[in-house]
Amino acid sequence: MQNCLFCKIVRGEIPADKVYEDERVMAFLDINPQAPVHLLVIPRRHLVCLADATAEDAALLGHIQCVIAELAHTHGFADAGFRVVNNCNEDGGQEVEHIHYHVLAGRRMQWPPG
């Protein structure tokens, strides 16, 4: 998508602090961290939000979870724990309309979320 912020990061038109990339997925630091560790994991392919996912996206979305698990181990927060957040559409608080998974770690999370 031409004007999508995260597509621009995928294309290298906007810089990001990348922590992981493969042929399907990228992960980078959130520019406005809400925890000591705040990563964003996105598919390279533009998909607006989880509500748009179909069975064809199952492998990609499963792969994203496996990448998150790998990042949790390589970044050393797997044992202490972490939270994965996907905001979808307006009530979900989604601001960037390219599906992304927040990975938050390094502090104790609260429940319920705000």
In the complex, the residues that contact Zn ion under the rule CB under 5 A are: 1, 4, 6-7, 46, 98
Cα(91)–Cα(49) distance, integer angstroms = 12
CA distance 47 to 45: 6
Minimum CB–partner distance for residue 38 and ligand AMP (Å): 7
Catalytic hit among 46, 73, 100, 102: 100
63 catalytic residue (yes or no): no
Diameter of the chain measured on Cα atoms: 39
Rg (the chain; Cα; Å): 14
Q: Which does 16 bind (CB under 5 to 8 A by kind): Zn ion, ligand AMP, none?
A: ligand AMP
Q: Which does 46 bind (CB under 5 to 8 A by kind): Zn ion, ligand AMP, none?
A: Zn ion
List contacts with ligand AMP (CB under 6 A).
5, 14, 16, 30-32, 40, 87, 93-96
Half-sphere exposure of 69 (CA within 13 A, CB side): 6
**Catalytic site residues?**
100
